[in-house]
Structure 1
Amino acid sequence: MSATRRFVSAGLFTLTFALSTIAAPARADVKIGAVVSATGLAEYLGAPEKRTLELWVEAINAAGGLNGEKIDLILHDDGGEPETARSLAQRLVDQDKVAAVIGGTTTATTLAMIPVFEAAQVPFVSLAGAVQIVEPVRKWVFKTPHTDRMACEKIFADLKRRKLTTIAIVSGTDAFGRSMREQCVKAAPAAGITVALEETYGPADTDVTAQLTAVKRKSGLQAVVVAGHGQGPAIVTRSYRQLGITLPLYQSHGVASKQFIALAGPAAEGVRLPAAALLVADKLGDGDPQKAVVQDYARTWQQKTGQPVSAFGGHAFDGLMLVVEAAKRAGSTEPAKLRDELERTRGHVGTGGVVTMSPSDHTGLDLSALRLLEIRKGDWVLVSEQGS
């Protein structure tokens, strides 16, 4: 399923972040493509990405456009299907002649699209989490979310603070779940963590009793880490509590949405996860460099949609603004110039962190960009990283 959105109306709402647009009337359209999973198993990731891109492109156009041109957002829904994503990517290149593309809700859809954009030499800013998207570095590929390796490292640091060193990993068999499992297993020895048990579940599984029974029966475990996104982690969390497992439970940044809390229900109480500062915009200290950006995004999002923010909408916002700022610095939307300026990004404050790209780093975030959160009474609480 696909849809094209062209926004040319004015007077929609005023952005409080700087756009630095030219006041003269727009002369033409600059085509920016997007492919997200607004439906399907990854809907709760892709739907806020889609709506974010629509809202902020509309706002940019209302404020005068990008370098004096209106943005023509050519937005497609891949339904979470990698082959569909690849076909839509080819369409954006061959038919639409886009200057850049934002999207790839999941690791699988992103990996399916990468060869298309690399061959066409069109800059692509992914919204998916796996480190393999940007390692090894691909010339035309960037991404906004923190990597799965970073998530593992953040979780392991908290485990060490709590003196918990023997864990089980329960991972999804989707591309992100497999990648995060691999990264956690690799990172564990250096962090002083022992992975004593591994279990897996499928993206469409509705019963994980057997896997979690094995976890319950395994002696010596001190905590459990779940690597996955979509509905699977919520099903794992509910079953975990139903089986009476009391070990500390960690999820990945792949569940950084209030929809996860709604799906998991009371079972989510006490779950910890690494996530973007956006989820706790109202809890950041006055000196936090991200505070103004995340509060502005959260305020606008809630006013326009009536929904709580998710980190996934924030990823799309960051991707769009990285492209916009690169185009302003370049004074052009020619793909090669956009690519070069994306790679030159320095100190860009987004919802995911302060981004500094380089030829060897196409994510531009360090571990400090992830905040450690705990779910309490249906809300996110910042966990002190000085203690347990």
Structure 2
Amino acid sequence: MKRSVSKIAVVLLSCIALCGVASANTLKIGAILSVSGPTAFLGVPEANTLEMLVESINARGGINGEMIELIIKDSAGQKEKAVSYAKQLIEEEKVFAILGPTRTGSTMAIKGLCEKSETLLISCASSKMIVDPVARFVYKSPQNDSLAVRKILEHMQKNNISKIGVAAGGTGFGKLGKMFTEELAPEYGITVISSEVYAPNVTDLSSLVAKWKGTGEIEAVINWSIVPAQTILAKNMRQANWDVPLYLSHGFGNIKYVEVGGKAMEGVIFPAGRLLIAETLDDSNPQKKVLVEYKQDYEAKFSEPVSTFGGHAYDAMMILVQALEEVGVADKMKVRENIENMSFVGTGGIFQFTPEDHSGLDINAFEMMTVKDGKFVQYREN
């Protein structure tokens, strides 16, 4: 890793001399991210992205003359820390908005605080539960987990898969993905033969693989997780020579997971936004310009491949920036209302927020992808 983010806070202010002005007002924006801990593969690219964007925005004069002061708090993926930091950002720092948290559980833990204090929250976590029911000041940038489940089940249905096993990491993200899979599978004529939760720090799932393989019924497996342990099931399946399709969630969208899993990750199937295949898109695709520019900027600055998680932070920040540029910073209610009716082309898809939908994305935000020769590529039917 080329750089690290302090566990306490990172405050970024572009040099006034760089901007060519004698003085400037500042706009405080907080972020609560999992920069360390088991989901650092998600939080580090999010923090990198926010730093890069703030540096760029301030270098060109800020937002309508307002320089951004970005305060990043590292929750290490812990709900208790997220709550403590949210209170600090709201009560002491008096931030205009909070971006993140990285994880669903942490987001749910601070959702009420943000709503009560009328502090804008744009989460980088994916659960539908974050925005359902709708809270006036709470939005999110990733695609809904329930839609990712539907995308997988659609693909299974097309490939005549009707009996599956479901494994889930023991996190809020994993348990909700498991719940949605069990609820939605019957709509697609699919039966969940067995459904299991494993500890986030598990090191071996060979007994589960042996049990499932031994049924002789399971035709494919879904592994719903965001922790590095999601690679363990793939390794154990390969070791057992159990050659059934393995589907992963959109929480697999960082090439570091492929590096950890090695050859066992070849051929896994998962839904994700188009950022991972940005340069292969047709030039007419309305997302391509945004995707390619962000990907090139990120990879040039940090010397590591872009991930969908950094993309979630990009979308969260730029949704806020677009609203601020359009209505200014004087009235938070106007900014909130602007977001609630916003169209936005981002890395996760083409957002269309409404008062009833604070996610703004539909199932068309996903492409089915796979791993080939250690790289992410669009999935093609044989």
Asked if TM exceeds 0.5, the reply is yes
Partner of 2:146, secondary structure, is helix
| Correspondence 1:356 to 2:362 | no
Q: Which one-letter code corresponds to 2:373 in the other structure?
A: K
Alpha carbons of 1:58 and 1:10: their partners in 2 closer, same or farther (altered >3 Å)?
A: farther
Q: Cα distance 1:11–1:189, how it changes in 2: closer, same or farther (>3 A)?
A: farther
Give me the TM-score of the superposition, normalised by structure 1. Answer: 0.94
1:152 to 142, 149, 153: 149
Deviation at 1:27? 2.7
Q: Which residue of 2 aligns with 1:202?
A: 199
Amino acid paired to 2:261: A
- Map 1:162-177 onto structure 2 (within 5 A): 162-177=159-174
Q: Secondary structure at the match of 1:5?
A: strand
Q: Which letter maps to 1:4?
A: V
Shift of 1:334: 3.5
Supply the RMSD in Å over aligned alpha carbons. Answer: 1.7
| Residue of structure 2 equivalent to 1:127 | 124
Match of 1:99 in 2: 96
Matched, 1:375 2:363: no
Choose 323-332 or 39-48, whichever is displaced more. 323-332
- Alpha carbons of structure 1 residues 64 and 219: separation in structure 2 relative to 1, 3 Å: same
The DSSP-based 3-state class of the residue aligned with 1:171 is strand
66-75 or 209-218, which moves further after superposition? 209-218
Cα drift, residue 23 of structure 1: 9.7
SS in 1 for 2:32: strand
CA positional deviation for 1:235:
1.6
Shift of 1:9: 2.9
What secondary structure is seen at the aligned counterpart in 2 of 1:136? coil
Q: Is 1:222 matched with 2:228?
A: no
Q: Which segments of 5 or more consecutive residues in structure 2 lack a partner in the other structure?
A: 1-6
Identity score, percent: 35
3-state secondary structure, aligned to 1:205: coil
Q: Residue 332 of structure 1: CA displacement?
A: 2.1
Q: Structure 2: how far apart are the matches of 1:353 and 1:361?
A: 15
Cα distance, 1:336 vs. partner? 2.1
- Tell me if structure 2 keeps the 8 A contact 1:45–1:230: no
| SS, match of residue 53 in structure 1 | helix
The answer to whether the 8 Å contact 1:100/1:335 transfers is no
Higher mean displacement: 307-316 or 227-236: 227-236
Distance 2:280 2:265 in 1: 20
In structure 1, what is the equivalent of residue 308 of structure 2?
A: 311
C-alpha distance in structure 2 between counterparts of 1:111 and 1:26, whole Å = 38
Report SS of the residue matched to 2:98: strand
Question: 1:14-57 CA deviation, whole Å, 9 max, x = no partner?
Answer: xxxxxxxx997763000111000000011000000001000110
Matched, 1:341 2:338: yes
| Structure 1 gap ranges (5+) | 13-21
Change (3 A) 1:11 1:212: farther
Aligned to 1:277: 274
2:242 match: secondary structure: coil
Once residues 334 and 129 of structure 2 are traced to their aligned partners in structure 1, the CA distance between those partners, rounded to angstroms, is: 25
> Aligned partners of 1:119, 1:317: CA distance in 2, in Å?
26
Contact 2:153 2:188 in 1 (8 A): yes
Could you say if the C-alpha distance between residues 23 and 287 of structure 1 is closer, same or farther in structure 2, counting changes exceeding 3 Å?
farther
- TM-score w.r.t. length of structure 2: 0.95
For residues 228-239 of structure 1, what are the structure 2 equivalents within 5 Å? 228-239=225-236
Residues 200 and 211 of structure 1 are in contact (CA less than 8 Å); yes or no, is this contact kept in structure 2? no
Distance 1:124 1:231 in 2: 27
Q: How many positions carry a matched residue from both structures?
A: 376
SS in 2 for 1:278: helix
Q: Cα distance 1:333–1:312, how it changes in 2: closer, same or farther (>3 A)?
A: farther
Aligned to 1:51: 48
1:4 positional shift: 2.7
Deviation at 1:211, TM superposition (A): 1.8
| Residue 121 of structure 1: how far off its partner (Å) | 0.7
* SS in structure 1 at match of 2:10: coil
Quote the offset at 1:380 in angstroms: 1.1
Q: Tell whether 2:92 aligns with 1:86.
A: no
Q: Structure 1 pair 79/223, CA: closer, same or farther in 2 (3 Å)?
A: same
Deviations 1:91-125 (A, max 9, x none): 00000001111011011111111121111110100
Distance of 1:34 and 1:220 partners within structure 2:
46
1:103-118 equivalences under 5 Å are 103-118=100-115
CA shift for structure 1 position 10: 7.3
Instruction: Please tell me whether residue 7 in structure 1 is matched to residue 13 in structure 2.
Output: yes
Cα distance in structure 2, aligned partners of 1:148 and 1:25: 47
2:16 & 2:370 partners in 1: Cα distance?
Answer: 41
Residue deviations 1:304-339 (CA, integer Å, cap 9, x gap): 011001000000000000000011111225332221
Aligned residue for 1:152, secondary structure, equals: helix
Residue 161 of structure 1 and its aligned partner are, at CA, apart by 1.6
User: What is aligned with 1:18?
Assistant: none
Distance across 2 between alignment mates of 1:52 and 1:11:
23
- The answer to whether the Cα contact below 8 Å between 1:123 and 1:141 also exists between their aligned partners in 2 is yes
